Structure 1
Amino acid sequence: MSSSLPEPLKEQVRKTALKHAIANRLKYGQARIEPVINKVFGEFRNFRQYSKEIASLVREVVQHVNSLSTEELRNLSEEVGVSPEGEAKTGARTLPPLPNTESWGRIVTRFAPNPDFVIHLGNARVAIISYTYATIYKGKFILRFEDTDPRTKRPIPEAYRIIREDLKWLSISWDEEYIQSLRMNIYYEYLRKLVANGHAYVDLCKPEIFRDLRNKGIACPHRSEDPSVHMDRLDKIFAGEYGEGEAVIRLKTDLNYADPSVRDWVLFRIIDTARYPHPITGDKYILWPTYNFAAAIDDHLMGVSHILRGREHTVNTIKQMFIYSYLGWRYPEVLNLGRVGLEKSILSKTWIKTQLKSNPDKFMGIDDIRFGTISALRRRGIAAETIKQIILELGVKGVDAIISWENIAATNRKILDPVSKRVFVVPNPVKIEILGVKEKISVDIPFHPSSNLGSRRFTISSPEVYISSRDAETFRKVGFLRLMEFANIKFVKEKDGKIVAEFLGRDVEEAKKLGAPIVQWVPVEHSTKVIILKPEGLKLRKIKCVGEDTIKGMREGEVVQMVRLGFGRIDRISGDLVVVIHAHD
């Protein structure tokens, strides 16, 4: 079995090494081999079997870069997209320049989700960065739905709409939109070309037999048959003479390739769409392209210059390069991104779909706030700008990253604080009767201490208010409280399940002298029921509260800052009940 570095992979390694070697020399005056090798291995960690050859190739590239004159280095750095600063400005955030931009007529990027589910934070990373690059270079951004597997990754009809809505919410717009299931005749055209030219063949072997042959590096008996035989079989497939599992169409690659999955991989397979109808095309087609075929054809036809995708797609790049080689096309530049995780949240589409199906009563739907989907983050009260800022800060690193809720909260807080109304909500309320209030008191409280967000007025005729049970415990111990923006009170006694307190006046300086803790409160006559839903991992806490009744006049979807409790999004208003989803402190 051959262990040499395959040509398509070798070219990718060379390009990557060149980029890092130039950047290293620009930074240190002389490119150093070790850090460049580490960078390259970080992006090609799935190909450790070629480590010696990769290291040797990197050394050659580093030596070449170090031999260049200053002018040659400058010209080459511009060609591959490495600047002396190593960055291309994108407003307040930065992304490294794209490689080889000068050799492409127009920069075209794409986001290609599978509508078998909604998008999550990891998907959004690709969308945001791809769109940002298209904007930086005044290029084109494409949205492409990759929906060519109606059997194992069956598209969900509403997912197309929700994905569009999520992208628009992220302020991402696209110049062109494509749906692969509506492009089947285009794929068939290129399939026929590959078969007719002897680059692809119809395989009639049983899967287990082919797998055994492939693992041994032995050709399938159908591989060497004349292209005319395979063209005839292809016609029979279209005529419905072969059923699901009876035939597949494979691309001729390298039977000695180190990774068996690359050896003569499947281009098309038959799917019984009478049994598994496609939500858009129904049972019109039975021969469906695999991801790697449809994506490869579309990237060329749509003029995609730069592909940003997860590092797990490295092998797919190698597979697709065989198609490009046969068709005489230039393969796009590829930037492999590391995986993104979200602390204490679930991003796995498979896991979420399984849970929603097996435990429908346990979760709130695809936008359940315990998930890491974009719909869930939006429902939770995370601003679109927060997501974009964090993603752009991550950049295009090839290493995996876990985004902490602490980071999300810090960024979200800066964005929301100036524009969010501050309201009073008390959890586990305890009633206080205040003695000594001799007349109605009107209290005007601004919704924000510095932003002009308006105010509300509480006219208090009945001297009863709610505070939280925790603040009630503090009141018992300290003996004094300052009801925020209202009054100073003194603990007297407890009676009939409530606290009796004495009104001491409204002067805030007096409260400071008394050492009275300042707490939020809700007047009984201006109160409404509030339930706060607080995600804690896969658990969902329901906190019973009362809140000021002005919340009922706000709109569903509005984000508020609950004083001393944190930010929350108003999820539902139903009569005297308001449901608020806790975003973060």
Structure 2
Amino acid sequence: MDDELRERVEREAEKHALLNAVKHESDADVGAIMGPLMGDNPDFREHGDEIPGVVGGVVGRVNDLDYDAKRDRLEELAPEELAEIEAEDEEDEHDLPDLPNADEYDEIRMRCAPNPNGPWHVGHARMPAVIGTYKERYDGWFCVRFDDTDPETKRPDLDAYDQILDAVDYLGFEPDAVYRASDRVETYYDHARELIELGGAYTCSCPAEEFSELKNAGESCPHRDADPEDVMAEFERMVQGEYDSGEMVLRVKTDIEHKNPALRDFVAFRMIDTPHPREEASEYRCWPMLDFQSGIDDHLIGITHIIRGIDLQDSAKKQRFVYDYFDWEYPEVIHWGHVQVDAYDVPMSTSSIKELIDDGELDGWDDPRAPTLASLERRGIRGEAITEAMVELGTSTSNVDLAMSSIYANNRELIDDESDRRFLVRDGTQVPLGGSPPAEANPPLHPDHEDRGVREIPVDDAVLLESGDLPQREERVWLKGLGCFQYTRDVLQYTGEDIDVVREGDVDVVHWVPATESVPVRMRTPDGDVTGRAEPGVADLEGDEVVQFERVGFARIDRHDDEETVVYYTHP
């Protein structure tokens, strides 16, 4: 390792050590900083055997400083990162930290920029939930901009445009504007031409592997210093579609010796032979790369604050080169970690979910086993519950875990008071009744709302109990809403005892349904379908109504088929 490289390693290691120490208010840890250090500086990897020794010495020196000295030094080296850490730690009345420099803008303007390659999974909800919440806090503005300029690798799904807008509405927000990048290709062409005139871009026909070798060596390709007039002519031929896919690209001139090879003369436009699925854009063959397209749009639309994944830090760095050429001011940027969702066996990936649907392993995007917003909505989960859970995650740069139980808890608060109670018996065991019980049971529709009245459940010669509720011989049991019974000689004999036997703790309370007049039910759950029978009144419930099956959980009535009622399990 030469002296120049060692100096760079020490400088970068010091920054990451200070970030680690200040963030956790403790000594820096070598193991914890190696990943971020190597991620930010991929050219260090070829010296992987030597780097830890250098880093260890730097970490030792950092750890000799007290907290205030560490913070002061970090403020010198990386003021933006320090501000981000302190914003994360800021405690106020909001779950979300204040937007950086918000008071410097007349209006806060943000964007949600999805790729419309399919309906949204649960993780996608975080962006509109947070942006919509910021809009409400600052009385700001936000748009949905479909970044759909890749008709091949991330090919748009024509149905996804409306499905995504429906998802935003489901989460409780209405965008102030909607854009489709594929409608704005001519705008990107115009800015590319201007960039060429400024000497900031050049056409390149180097094979990808050949350019990669030159770039990694910090050497210019032979096209880099071409005359702007020649570059413009070749770009116009790109626009006219005269090149095949992979034959010609337009590159942004950056720093060919930049410490991060990914930022060296990156591609702004490339040729794609596959037509765009939208008819309005199907004639284009020269398409902008996402970093160029998004950067241009953010400026033209007037975006003041961008939220993006921490893995996209290079995007901001690339776009700043373009902004510098045009003398534009770059928006404020918040980087956050990924959100990871528990409780699903299906991968949280649009392409994976689509593959499972195509293979027939899932019934569709709203299959209860799918980790999608369409699935949660069909299960009867309110969008507000999801939004609240996402906002509670904040904007940490660390990866965060979202427990579905937090969404369920939020939703329970929203629906419990208005959801009437019903009985559903799964995997029921039939037991005869004896002893002249009442002819009808009348449990309340809701225990906290007597004014709603009672259910009318007929009592016939037998009931169905869940297998786990079947009492032992000579044991008593209270059939909810009906009365006390003793299990004798395989028959539940009505005893006529009052509710005091339950209050005294001697008798278990169980739910039940009449064996003959109950309704067959198929309950669709994230773990698969469950069959059972429900009290007769369930057959008369309107579709989309959410009920609580006592001792089972909440469920949304989906439909009444000829042979069964289909419900979707919401949560416990």
- TM-fit CA distance, 1:120: 2.4
Cα distance, 1:303–1:506 mapped onto 2, change above 3 Å: farther
Larger deviation, residues 571-580 vs 200-209: 571-580
User: Number of residues paired by the alignment?
Assistant: 541
- TM-fit CA distance, 1:149: 0.7
Cα distance, 1:523–1:313 mapped onto 2, change above 3 Å: same
Answering whether residue 487 of structure 2 is matched by residue 491 of structure 1, we say: yes
Amino acid at match of 1:63: D
1:98-139 Cα shifts (integer Å, max 9, x gaps) = 111232232111111111012223221111111111221111
Cα distance, 1:59–1:228 mapped onto 2, change above 3 Å: farther
Answering whether residue 434 of structure 2 is matched by residue 443 of structure 1, we say: no
- TM-fit CA distance, 1:525: 4.5
Give the whole-Å Cα distance in 2 for the aligned partners of 1:80 and 1:405: 28
Corresponding residue of 2:430: 431
- TM-fit CA distance, 1:344: 2.9
Give the whole-Å Cα distance in 2 for the aligned partners of 1:319 and 1:522: 65
Amino acid at match of 1:442: E
User: Would you say the 8 A contact 1:444–1:457 is kept in 2?
Assistant: yes
User: Would you say the 8 A contact 1:569–1:580 is kept in 2?
Assistant: yes
Amino acid at match of 1:441: A
- TM-fit CA distance, 1:386: 1.8
Corresponding residue of 1:398: 397
Amino acid at match of 2:115: N
Within 5 Å, give how 1:275-294 maps onto structure 2: 276-294=275-293
Cα distance, 1:85–1:230 mapped onto 2, change above 3 Å: closer
Corresponding residue of 2:566: 579
- TM-fit CA distance, 1:42: 10
Q: In the alignment, which of 511, 518, 542 is matched to residue 509 of structure 2?
A: 518
Give the whole-Å Cα distance in 2 for the aligned partners of 1:124 and 1:115: 14
1:178-204 Cα shifts (integer Å, max 9, x gaps) = 111111111111011111222111111
Answering whether residue 119 of structure 2 is matched by residue 118 of structure 1, we say: yes
Secondary structure at 2:189 match in 1: helix
User: Would you say the 8 A contact 1:446–1:453 is kept in 2?
Assistant: no
Answering whether residue 535 of structure 2 is matched by residue 531 of structure 1, we say: no
Cα distance, 1:514–1:220 mapped onto 2, change above 3 Å: closer
Corresponding residue of 2:310: 311
Cα distance, 1:198–1:324 mapped onto 2, change above 3 Å: same
Give the whole-Å Cα distance in 2 for the aligned partners of 1:83 and 1:174: 26
Larger deviation, residues 182-191 vs 113-122: 113-122
- TM-fit CA distance, 1:141: 1.1
- TM-fit CA distance, 1:82: 7.7
Secondary structure at 1:362 match in 2: coil
- TM-fit CA distance, 1:560: 2.0
User: Would you say the 8 A contact 1:484–1:519 is kept in 2?
Assistant: yes
Amino acid at match of 1:199: G
Gapped regions of structure 2 (runs ≥ 5): 45-50
- TM-fit CA distance, 1:296: 0.3
Gapped regions of structure 1 (runs ≥ 5): 25-31, 68-75, 495-499
Corresponding residue of 2:468: 470
Corresponding residue of 1:251: 252
Give the whole-Å Cα distance in 2 for the aligned partners of 1:38 and 1:99: 30
Within 5 Å, give how 1:154-553 maps onto structure 2: 154-273=155-274, 276-345=275-344, 346-357=347-358, 359=359, 361-437=360-436, 441-451=439-449, 454-458=452-456, 460=458, 462-472=460-470, 475-477=471-473, 479-494=475-490, 500-505=491-496, 507-512=498-503, 515-536=506-527, 540=528, 542-553=529-540
- TM-score, structure 2 normalization: 0.85
Amino acid at match of 1:577: E
Give the whole-Å Cα distance in 2 for the aligned partners of 1:159 and 1:84: 34
- TM-fit CA distance, 1:453: 7.7
User: Identity percentage over the alignment?
Assistant: 31
Amino acid at match of 1:184: V
Give the whole-Å Cα distance in 1 for the aligned partners of 2:368 and 2:511: 27
Corresponding residue of 1:72: none
User: Would you say the 8 A contact 2:340–2:402 is kept in 1?
Assistant: yes
Answering whether residue 46 of structure 2 is matched by residue 46 of structure 1, we say: no
User: Would you say the 8 A contact 2:40–2:260 is kept in 1?
Assistant: no
Give the whole-Å Cα distance in 2 for the aligned partners of 1:189 and 1:165: 33
- TM-fit CA distance, 1:164: 0.8
User: Would you say the 8 A contact 2:459–2:514 is kept in 1?
Assistant: no
- TM-fit CA distance, 1:492: 2.4
Corresponding residue of 1:63: 72
Give the whole-Å Cα distance in 1 for the aligned partners of 2:265 and 2:88: 43
Corresponding residue of 1:27: none
1:218-273 Cα shifts (integer Å, max 9, x gaps) = 21111111111111111212223212221111111122223322211111111114
- TM-score, structure 1 normalization: 0.83
Corresponding residue of 1:570: 557
Cα distance, 1:477–1:150 mapped onto 2, change above 3 Å: farther
- TM-fit CA distance, 1:39: 12
- TM-fit CA distance, 1:531: 1.7
1:441-461 Cα shifts (integer Å, max 9, x gaps) = 333222211146834432536
Give the whole-Å Cα distance in 2 for the aligned partners of 1:158 and 1:561: 34
Give the whole-Å Cα distance in 2 for the aligned partners of 1:331 and 1:172: 26
Give the whole-Å Cα distance in 2 for the aligned partners of 1:511 and 1:86: 51
Corresponding residue of 1:29: none
Secondary structure at 2:322 match in 1: helix
Give the whole-Å Cα distance in 2 for the aligned partners of 1:197 and 1:66: 35
Secondary structure at 2:284 match in 1: coil
- TM-fit CA distance, 1:550: 1.8
Secondary structure at 1:242 match in 2: coil
Corresponding residue of 1:86: 90
Cα distance, 1:509–1:463 mapped onto 2, change above 3 Å: farther
- TM-fit CA distance, 1:518: 0.6
- TM-fit CA distance, 1:299: 0.6
1:312-341 Cα shifts (integer Å, max 9, x gaps) = 111111111111111111111111111001
- TM-fit CA distance, 1:567: 2.0
Secondary structure at 2:416 match in 1: helix
User: Would you say the 8 A contact 1:81–1:101 is kept in 2?
Assistant: no
User: Would you say the 8 A contact 2:117–2:155 is kept in 1?
Assistant: yes
Considering only aligned residues, what root-mean-square deviation do their CA atoms show, in Å? 3.6
Give the whole-Å Cα distance in 2 for the aligned partners of 1:64 and 1:492: 80
Give the whole-Å Cα distance in 1 for the aligned partners of 2:559 and 2:32: 49
- TM-fit CA distance, 1:512: 4.9
Name the one with the larger strand percent.
1
1:22-52 Cα shifts (integer Å, max 9, x gaps) = x99xxxxxxx8969x9999999883267998
Secondary structure at 2:397 match in 1: coil
Give the whole-Å Cα distance in 1 for the aligned partners of 2:170 and 2:127: 15
Larger deviation, residues 461-470 vs 384-393: 461-470
Cα distance, 1:470–1:59 mapped onto 2, change above 3 Å: closer
Give the whole-Å Cα distance in 1 for the aligned partners of 2:387 and 2:446: 26
User: Would you say the 8 A contact 1:367–1:376 is kept in 2?
Assistant: yes
Give the whole-Å Cα distance in 1 for the aligned partners of 2:224 and 2:375: 48
Cα distance, 1:165–1:470 mapped onto 2, change above 3 Å: same
Give the whole-Å Cα distance in 2 for the aligned partners of 1:576 and 1:465: 20
User: Would you say the 8 A contact 2:183–2:281 is kept in 1?
Assistant: no
Give the whole-Å Cα distance in 2 for the aligned partners of 1:323 and 1:61: 34
Amino acid at match of 1:483: L
